[in-house]
Amino acid sequence: MQPAQPFGTLDITGMSFLGNLPALPWRDFSTVYQVQDQLLRTTAGHTVIFGGEFQRIQSNGPEDVLVDGLYTFEDLSPFGIPAQTDNPPLEFFLQALPLSYLGVDPSNSDSNRDYRQSVASGFAQDFWRVTGRLTLNAGLRYDFFSNPTETHGWMSVVRNPTTDSGPTVGKLWATTPRDLFSPRAGIAWDIFGGGKTVLRGGAGIFRDQFPISLFGLDRLLPPFFGINSYVLPSFLNPQNAVVTQPIDVYQMTYHPKFSYALQYNLNLEREVASGTILSAGYFGARGNHLPRGVERNPFEPALGHRYNPNLASPLAEDLTDAQSFYNSFQMSVSQHHAHNVSWQAFYTLSHSIDDATNNFDTDAVNEPATTQDPFNRKGSRGRSGFDIRHNFVANVVYELPFGRKSQFGGWQISAIASIHSNVPFTPMLAFDNADVQSLFPSDRPDLIGNPYVGVCPNGSRVGTPSCWFNPDAFAVPPPDQFGTAGRNILRGPSFAEFDLSIEKGFRLSEAMRVTFGVEAYNLLNHPNFGVPSNTQSALGLGGNGDAVFEDAAGDLADNVGRIFTTAGGARQFQLDARVTF
């Protein structure tokens, strides 16, 4: 606790965090200076577009991670301090006896950085009208991303986590690539002429730059910032502790590969009746070199020390070796302005799998942000956190036919229906069974049965909010081993919502119109539940899946399989008015 600083965080096992989140506050802001231009030339059936862009990115400000500190209260019985109640963590909190404190060295706590980066890109695209029915297009884009700099030179990184003994002052990345070329091509074919049946397709490589929030976490490393772990510290005087250990919290890999996605699609569109368009097609994407969070210096129980014995600290690192795979069939049908009605319906059958959906604990909810086994990337390959197999959306707008040319006209009814299948979530362990000794644990249990049958230990039927899955389908793995249960193998509840609106318009003049209406969201008041999540990320934002067991003895975690959140809200009515002129 320091003057002019927010209150820190109290982590009492079995309770939600008390106080401010340890990952906050972030007070950095960005300014982007951008210059771009395009040139278009049309000749002999070709329309050629050339373009270029230059960005100068500035990001200034602090990210005060753990500046306010994090006290953890757990059972101290293993340390020779016996508990007198059946809730040791709360007991030791009331006695002001913390197990640990995680916070900054007060003499080295300035996280303010002024990052700079340049981005340059150029492209050429040719649209060739081969015939009146066939158009082809092809293009090439080039991107360049500079190595980030900091105006004061306050940058460091552990360049080789397998051998280095600590961070090295200097540039954040070993190098940046000079060969980021991205070809693209497409086709549009009016198969029979007349514009009623059109085949479209295309493929291309699309790139993205690394956000400053990713490589900017390197600011938390020594020698320009210091985070320490204090074991059995004095409350409010954490530097008076039994053990003090410097911690290298987080960094981006020193050898990044730049992410890209290969996207491809083929779509057939047909006007089946006047004003009615039917469309069906395939869309796919493959992502490569995606960020993946890992514990880069895990403890190795068989060796009795960390993977790199020269580096005493754990080190969470973002690698750029993850992959993703998306495939979908998409269909839509629409009717515009027929008998005062316009409507559309869309259906998507899709499947997305990846090695990691989130690489930040602050973003994770239904799964951990780090790979369970740092050396087995594909061992965490599973459904993407956003994977939805079936998704149906329909909307309709009906202009009531009566009184069109009088003050009694101008009525309109519209509705939207949205239905989709479940999103996945991950079964977890609430303790470090594999003894990785990471700040961001991600252990999973063994899968030994069917989690969707039977009755839960609390007596509830499986598939209800109080018992969404059966924890008896899982078991604690042998000590020092990872679990066999896959990432995101459990499925959450489905979603359905129906919205309705009615409005009446009044024309005040030729150029002005006022509209009054009432809107109902989730008109049927259908409950849409979230996924079970009884965990909390190490930095206090989001969850890490649903913990099945709380200890190696196989005791069930509190509230395992129970749902406490909803997706979307209850029925709501809203009055609105707008003026159009």
- DSSP per position, 378-394: GGG-EE-TT--SEEEEE
DSSP conformational letter for 566? B
502 within some domain: yes
Mean pLDDT, rounded, for 461-486: 95
Question: CA 65 → CA 20, 25, 216, 537, distances in Å?
Answer: 11, 7, 12, 14
pLDDT greater than 90 at residue 120: yes
Average pLDDT over residues 368-386: 93
Mean pLDDT of 379-401: 95
Beta bridge partners of 353: 325, 383
Query: How large is the average pLDDT for residues 183-194?
Result: 95
- Asked if residue 50 belongs to a domain, the reply is no
Report the alpha-carbon distance of residue 352 to residue 488 in Å, rounded: 12
Closest CA to 141 of 88, 185, 188: 185
Q: What value does the mean pLDDT of the chain take? A: 92
Q: 123: left (phi > 0), else alpha (psi -120 to 50), else beta? A: beta
The pLDDT value recorded for residue 296 is: 94
Give per-residue pLDDT as tens, 341-351: 999 999 999 99
In a domain, 102, yes or no: no
> Residue 54 falls within a domain, yes or no?
no
Does a structural domain hold residue 96?
A: no
pLDDT band at 362 (very low <50, low <70, confident <90, very high): low
Express each pLDDT in 124-158 by its tens digit.
999 999 999 999 999 999 999 999 999 999 999 99
Q: Is residue 568 part of a domain?
A: yes
Two tokens, residue 61 = 């400000």
Q: What is the mean pLDDT of residues 18-30?
A: 81
How many residues in the chain? 581
Q: Are 337 and 275 in contact (CB under 8 A)?
A: yes
- Pick from 63-77, 152-166, 314-328: least confident: 63-77
17 is a domain residue: no
Domain count of the fold of the chain: 1
pLDDT at 406: 67
Residue 76 domain-assigned? no
Q: Which domain holds residue 495?
A: 336-581
Q: What percent of the chain has pLDDT over 90?
A: 73
Q: Is the pLDDT of residue 180 over 90?
A: yes
Q: What is residue 242's predicted lDDT score, i.e. its pLDDT?
A: 92
Q: Which pLDDT belongs to residue 420?
A: 97
383 pLDDT higher than 70: yes
- Inform me whether the pLDDT recorded for 340 exceeds 90: no
- Select from 336, 326, 330 the least CA-distant residue to 268: 330
Q: What is the pLDDT of residue 538?
A: 59
